[in-house]
A and B are shown apart, each in its own frame.
Chain A
Amino acid sequence: MSVYIFMRIFERKPAQYDGWIRIFTRGKLDVAHEYLVSRLKKGDLVLDIGCGTGALSLRAAKKGARVKAIDINPAALEVARSRADRENLSHLVEWLGMSAVELDKEKTSAFDAVMSSLCFSELNQDELMFTLSETARILKSGGLLLVCDEIRPQKLVLRTLNGLLRGILKIVVLMFTGLTTKAIVDLPGKIESVGLAVEYISVNKMGNFMQIVARKPF
């Protein structure tokens, strides 16, 4: 289902965001996060772009990674901070009010991994390409880009079906929040175009949700 667009509604109440997403995606987002985090090693320095309420960052921290988590929503960051305190992970995660377009301030070859969950679909084309090329720069050689996000299905049938369903949901979400998200077109191609090598792709049955792992060549 194309329910990921509903996050625009849940975002308004950051404290309840993860609960709602879990119900609507029937736990699938947790599975995706678990896979992405399984690629991290203890002690890795990781950047989480668009950490939101911190679901992915905290999962990585539990694995022993040091996380720099950035988001532009101050209310979501507050939820994430208090959650990290509760789970005694504050020493591993640094929460920052920062946008993806500020990544040009980061040092070259600084991170072992860059991850992002359901954030790229909130960026426009220019922002996405900027973020990806900065990601390629700030990753260490051999470092990983780990993404799970909503994509536009490749097969025509699925694309039409998904487009119809999504269109209806989009109107509902627009009415509630005035906001929307954009399913990403050709994410692997865009990742390859900035010089990262795609290693692993997994797409769900509907063809509208992708987990992707890419590596910066040595």
Chain B
Amino acid sequence: MDRLVYIIFNIIGTLFRFLPFPHRTGLIKIGSPREESPVFLTGNYYLTVLRVKNALQGLDVYLLVANSHGINVWCAAKGGHFTDYAVLSAIKTSGIERLVKHRKVILPQLAAAGIRADFVKKKSGWRVLWGPVYTKDISLYIEKNFKKSSEMRRVQFPFSARLEMAVAWAFPVSAVAAFLAILFWRDEWISLVMSVWGSALLVFLTFPLFLPLLQTEGTRSGFRTSCFSRLFYPLILYFCVFVGLLLYCVLSEHLDGSYLLPWGVVLLVLVLLLTLDIKGSTPLLKSETHEEKRYKVILEKEKCKGVGFCEDVCPQNCFIMEKTEKKISFPGLDRCVRCGACIVQCPFDALFFQDKAGSKIPPENIRKYKLNLAGKRTVKIF
């Protein structure tokens, strides 16, 4: 029965993935936790809480749900919705301080883009441990005595996540399309809904094929990258979709212009809509519409004291600790998704954003405003 409810909530949550659904904040006891049991904390996006609770089944732990305004952990942290104060509030107002003896709280690693561990420590005395990215790794993380492997740190875009994105995209768009079709194009509404779902599935499920071509920043010039992502990528996809349309026409024997033309246009619009911000729709690439894409993370090695917080929070394993030197090196710049987590966590300001012209964003600004870069996370599509 619980399983069924879990599945139903997951489906509903996925269909409306892009809307914020807040879960009640506060303390949740899982199993029968004691004074020394670990304390986990997460944001209050409904689906997140549901999945974390599910992953913690069978353990005896406390789960704090902090206010991230009903938005998932990573987006909320980067956008300044899941803040230090939310964590502080959860620790202080939930009564957890009376229930456990230790002062350690495990936060999802992706929250590191918005929550300063040193701030939480200073204000509340609680030490923040950055847990694994995915809930599936939690029990292994506990078994390994709260140590993460590099695999546990890495954000991926597996089949299940891509399917989720396709569904999350297709459902609201097909609902709008169906509504418009029933008003203006009644005969074709089912075909329209199906083509929305079909093209969304095509784009997200074939994404790994195009990833190496989209992921070229750093090594090649930005012009070629954007040429590919803006022009060739939609064209290739459109070509596939159009071949599908032609095949369908031939098989169903109404191959004529009056059928081909409107559908050709509809599919073009769909492909363009889907690829408009394909990079931003994935956790592996930086959105083209965000201001911070103009910036690169720069490491000032002289300031590094080798504490390795950046290595611990980087979702792309961009950093490597050089054992002999006890300093960090940054070989993974090409993979960097500019989440800002390393900048927020570095206690020595050794990491910062810098654009091509050489102008820096002080790390303090990122800590204050997160990726809003002082309130300027403008949408610039072209």
Interface residues, chain A, CB within 8 Å of chain B? 72, 74-75, 99, 101-102, 104, 124-127, 129-130, 174, 178-180
Contacts and interface: CB of A to CB of B under 8 A. Distances in A.
Nearest to B372: A75
A99 B123 CA distance: 10
Contacts of A125: 26
A72 B83 contact: yes
Given A75-B374, A124-B67, A126-B25, 8 more contacts: A101-B88, A101-B93, A102-B88, A102-B123, A126-B26, A130-B93, A179-B20, A179-B69
Interface in B65-95: 67, 69-71, 81, 83, 85, 88-89, 92-94
Interface in B234-271: none
Contact of B94 (A74, A99, A126, A180): A126
A161 B369 CA distance: 38
Interface in B29-71: 67, 69-71
A99 B85 contact: yes
B368 interface: yes
B92 A101 contact: yes
B361 interface: no
B375 A75 contact: yes
Contacts of B70: 178
A127 B20 contact: no
Interface residues of B, number: 21
A74 B368 contact: yes
Contact of A178 (B69, B85, B93, B375): B69
B25 A124 contact: yes
Contact of B369 (A72, A74, A124, A179): A74
B88 A178 contact: no
A127 B369 contact: no
Nearest to A129: B93
Contacts of B369: 74-75
Contacts of B83: 72
Interface of B: 19-20, 25-26, 67, 69-71, 81, 83, 85, 88-89, 92-94, 123, 368-369, 374-375
Contacts of A99: 85, 88-89
Nearest to A131: B93
A75 B377 CA distance: 14
B43 to A, nearest CB: 12
A30 to B, nearest CB: 26
A127 B89 contact: yes
A21 B81 CA distance: 22
Which residue among B25, B69, B93 has the maximum number of chain A CB atoms within 10 Å of its CB?
Answer: B93
B65 to A, nearest CB: 10
Given A74-B369, A101-B85, A130 B69 contact: no
Contact of A126 (B20, B93, B123, B374): B93
A126 B67 CA distance: 11
Contacts of B71: 178
Contacts of A74: 368-369
B271 to A, nearest CB: 26
B126 to A, nearest CB: 13
Given A126-B94, A130-B93, A178-B71, A72 B85 contact: yes
B66 to A, nearest CB: 10
B161 to A, nearest CB: 21
Contacts of A101: 85, 88-89, 92-93
The 9 A-B pairs with the shortest beta carbon distances in the complex, nearest first, are A126-B93, A99-B85, A130-B93, A101-B89, A178-B20, A101-B92, A72-B85, A74-B368, A124-B25
B81 to A, nearest CB: 7
25 contacts: A72-B83, A72-B85, A75-B369, A75-B374, A99-B85, A99-B89, A101-B85, A101-B88, A101-B93, A102-B88, A102-B123, A124-B25, A124-B26, A124-B67, A125-B26, A126-B25, A126-B26, A126-B93, A127-B93, A130-B92, A178-B20, A178-B69, A178-B81, A179-B20, A179-B69
Contacts of A174: 19-20
A81 to B, nearest CB: 14
Nearest to B27: A126
Nearest to B365: A74
Contacts of A127: 89, 93
Contacts of A104: 92
A3 to B, nearest CB: 20
Contacts of A178: 20, 69-71, 81
Nearest to A100: B89
A102 B92 CA distance: 8
A122 B289 CA distance: 30
A102 to B, nearest CB: 6
Which residue among B67, B88, B89, B123 has the maximum number of chain A CB atoms within 10 Å of its CB?
Answer: B89
